[in-house]
Amino acid sequence: MADYDYDLFVIGAGSGGVRASRVAAAHGAKVAVAEEHRVGGTCVIRGCVPKKMLVYGAHFAEDVMDAARFGWHIKECKFDWPVLRDNVAADVTRIEGLYTQTLENNKVEIFHERATVSGPNEVTLASGRTISAGKILIATGAWPAIPPVEGREHGITSNEVFGLDKLPERIVIAGGGYIANEFAGIFHEFGSKVTLVNRSDKILRHYDTQIRDRLLQISTMKGIEFLFHNEFTKVEKVDGKLRIHMSSHDPIEADILLFAIGRVPHTKGLGLESAGVEIDKNGAVVVDDVNRTTCPSIFAVGDVTNRVQLTPVAIREGQAFADTFFGNKPTKVDYSCIPSAVFSHPPLAGVGLTESQARNTLGSVKIFTSDFRPMKNVLAGRNERALYKLVVNGDTDVVVGVHMIGPDAPEILQAAAIAVKAKLKKSQFDEVVALHPSMAEELVLMK
């Protein structure tokens, strides 16, 4: 590799790219990374990290409302969007600095500009400089999809939503996935009138049916409006407001239209064709089980491969790539049993097979559920019910799926995912003494 400027050149300093860069460098490789936006990528800069901070901020709306039932009397309650927005932005900048520091501490050179592939072992920077590398890693992530509707330029995406000048009185959110439902909950708690528009009649289609139906029920009860079987036909700006036309509904007006219909691999204009890298019909980089593309010297990890669009998966892929090709430790990522969550209001989470998946693939299935009002909701006079669900292989007694919706569901699910990954049996759940009083104890009390 002495004939190249670098042993490894990474395009994209998001979660996967940063992990691959620093681990490869720690293994002794000479590494450089190019990032055209900000170090940290989608998750840190414009995704899960700032969004979770907004989720925390939104929860205070209900906590303050419930406080009186717990003896707390709050005379004046006012939400100040710029304060939360600016504090979130400041913390994002702090975390970006930590990511940058991590790369620098591992002697990874950072180019703060766009890089494109110009050959099997060559990249070209926006400044015009060409750089050679023994291996090139594509870690450019994914970008919000925008529908080809007239007037789409009047809408925004999750990239821009964190920097709004003021809270919208009325917001229309396009989509039915986790991003759409999370922001629907956030803006509703902040006091906006929220309308969620989806082209089908299902939200969160990858999650267990009972769990997602419970979220729909609770969200509707709170006042979030759902318009199903609708597609946008035109978006107009009239007197400073948006008039949104749909296929099966009268036009509605809003201050903000948020497109949250999914994310597409960020490969456009990267020059991958110059090196013979195959791209699938969705724009994703095609890779094998060791993250190698159809060009032997070029690899890809993270959302740009469109395998599993989750930050922890991108990190695992980056680690596996670096260990395999620079650490003499061949590693492959196990994509089975990946836990995931939706930070809605209330949050939901799941791991393993849903009930429908289990019934389609297993010979015998047993379902155990616990449908209850969390103690906090009871005292607060809040009627929201939590729902926990175990999916069990009826032939082996192995718990093959855990799904839940309710307060702190993602925090509880992480530990439950270990049990599913370890293929523990329902009888072993039953043998565990309950931790009382807690919501999590319901996992070991289902009969």
Residue 119 known to bind ligand:
no
Please report, in angstroms and rounded to a whole number, the separation of the first and last CA atoms in the chain.
61
Given the DSSP bridges, would you call strands 130-138 and 122-125 parallel, antiparallel or unpaired? antiparallel
Please report, as a single letter, which amino acid is at residue 220.
T
Is the bond preceding residue 330 a cis peptide, omega within 30 degrees?
no
Catalytic residue among 27, 229, 249, 436: 436
Residue 177 known to bind ligand:
yes
By CB atoms closer than 10 A (0-12, 13-18, 19+), residue 392 is: buried
Please report, as a single letter, which amino acid is at residue 64.
V
Cα–Cα distance between 194 and 191 in angstroms, integer?
9
Residue 52 known to bind ligand:
yes
Residue 397 known to bind ligand:
no
Are 155 and 258 within 8 A, CB to CB?
yes
Residue 163 known to bind ligand:
no
For residue 8, CA distances in Å to 39, 138, 366 come to 18, 11, 50
Are 115 and 200 within 8 A, CB to CB?
no
Cα–Cα distance between 184 and 352 in angstroms, integer?
26
The residue with tokens 């926006």 is: 126
Residue 171 known to bind ligand:
no
Residue 181 known to bind ligand:
yes
Residue 113 known to bind ligand:
no
Residue 97 known to bind ligand:
no
Alpha helices by DSSP H, listed for 280-438, are: 311-326, 355-361, 375-380, 409-421, 426-431
Cα–Cα distance between 112 and 110 in angstroms, integer?
6
Alpha helices by DSSP H, listed for 68-207, are: 81-105, 178-190
Residue 182 known to bind ligand:
yes
Cα–Cα distance between 190 and 239 in angstroms, integer?
24
Three-class SS state of 391: strand
Q: Which residues of 339-356 are buried (b: 16+ CB within 10 A; e: fewer)?
A: bbbbbbbbbbbbbbbbbe
Cα–Cα distance between 351 and 339 in angstroms, integer?
4
Residue in 350, 371, 376, 348 with CA at minimum distance from that of residue 437 = 376
Residue 280 known to bind ligand:
no
Annotated catalytic residue 436: yes
Cα–Cα distance between 134 and 117 in angstroms, integer?
13
Alpha helices by DSSP H, listed for 106-208, are: 178-190
- Binding site feature residues for FAD: 52, 303
- Binding site feature residues for NAD(+): 175-182, 262
- Binding site feature residues: 52, 175-182, 262, 303
Catalytic residues: 436
